[in-house]
Chain A
Amino acid sequence: DAKTTQPTSMDCAEGRAANLPCNHSTISGNEYVYWYRQIHSQGPQYIIHGLKNNETNEMASLIITEDRKSSTLILPHATLRDTAVYYCIVRVGGGGSNYKLTFGKGTLLTVNP
């Protein structure tokens, strides 16, 4: 699986959009971009994923560049409860016997009042 690079930490004001970048310059054509988050002391939580098109769900939006070498997770109206470590993960989709997720250190997003 391709490696990812994320900033160690970011701050965001409550109510503003939080834009979390991720670099995955060695991504392969069959690899998806996944985002998870981990609120303090809890298990990781799935947020969103995509292959090459932009995606949106009730939690967030995912913008993937046309060359797929980077992506941005957008939380449109950040709240204090969004303070967490956000992980960008690249993995092969579809079949096969290995479905592991490789977690890096992620980005600590702190939402300030």
Chain B
Amino acid sequence: NAGVTQTPKFQVLKTGQSMTLQCAQDMNHEYMSWYRQDPGMGLRLIHYSVGAGITDQGEVPNGYNVSRSTTEDFPLRLLSAAPSQTSVYFCASSYLGSGTQYFGPGTRLTVL
């Protein structure tokens, strides 16, 4: 079991560029989510999904898009990167109804 994997580990973008952060899990979890963590802050929920084809917004969804075409993958898209999106992004997954979430190692994104 690889658990939750995220790619890339590090990324530097220029303002206005777009990119996709990848997240995959091999535990057959229905629930997947994206968080961002700014320096000295707790994690804030961006988007989440309770199954393939079903996504919803978290507390800070602006500037981000998601889709869930398979159980395993939950990519996060930045359409036009802004310096305010400089952060560490974590993907997590769990079985539905479980508060035990498994987190990936994170993607460190810098937007210049």
Measured between C-beta atoms, what is the minimum distance from A77 to chain B in Å? 24
Cβ contact within 8 Å between A45 and B97: no
Measured between C-beta atoms, what is the minimum distance from B108 to chain A in Å? 8
Cβ contact within 8 Å between A106 and B42: yes
Enumerate chain B residues within 8 angstroms of A98, measured Cβ to Cβ. 56
Measured between C-beta atoms, what is the minimum distance from B3 to chain A in Å? 10
Interface size class of A (residues with CB under 8 A): 20 to 34
Cβ contact within 8 Å between A99 and B50: yes
A residues neighboring B (CB under 8 Å): 32, 34, 41-46, 49, 87, 89, 91, 93-106
Per-residue CB contact flags for chain B residues 81-112 toward chain A (1 = under 8 Å, else 0) read 00000001010101011111111111000000
Considering the complex, give the chain B residue whose CB is closest to the CB of A102. Answer: B45
Is there a chain A Cβ closer than 8 Å to B31's Cβ? yes
Enumerate chain B residues within 8 angstroms of A41, measured Cβ to Cβ. 88, 106
Is there a chain A Cβ closer than 8 Å to B61's Cβ? no
Given contacts A43-B90, A99-B31, 4 further A-B contacts (CB under 8 A): A41-B88, A46-B102, A94-B97, A100-B48
Main secondary structure of the interface of B (DSSP, over half): strand
- The answer, among B56, B99, B101, for a CB contact under 8 Å with A93, is B99
- The answer, among B31, B40, B100, for a CB contact under 8 Å with A49, is B100
Cβ contact within 8 Å between A99 and B96: yes
Considering the complex, give the chain A residue whose CB is closest to the CB of B30. Answer: A99
Enumerate chain A residues within 8 angstroms of B19, measured Cβ to Cβ. none
Cβ contact within 8 Å between A105 and B99: no
Kindly identify, within residues 35 to 79 of chain B, every residue whose CB is under 8 Å from any CB belonging to chain A.
35, 40-45, 48, 50, 56, 58
Enumerate chain A residues within 8 angstroms of B43, measured Cβ to Cβ. 44, 101, 103
Considering the complex, give the chain A residue whose CB is closest to the CB of B3. Answer: A43
Enumerate chain B residues within 8 angstroms of A46, measured Cβ to Cβ. 100-102
Closest 10 CB pairs between A and B? A43-B103, A103-B42, A103-B43, A46-B100, A44-B103, A34-B99, A100-B45, A105-B42, A99-B31, A43-B90
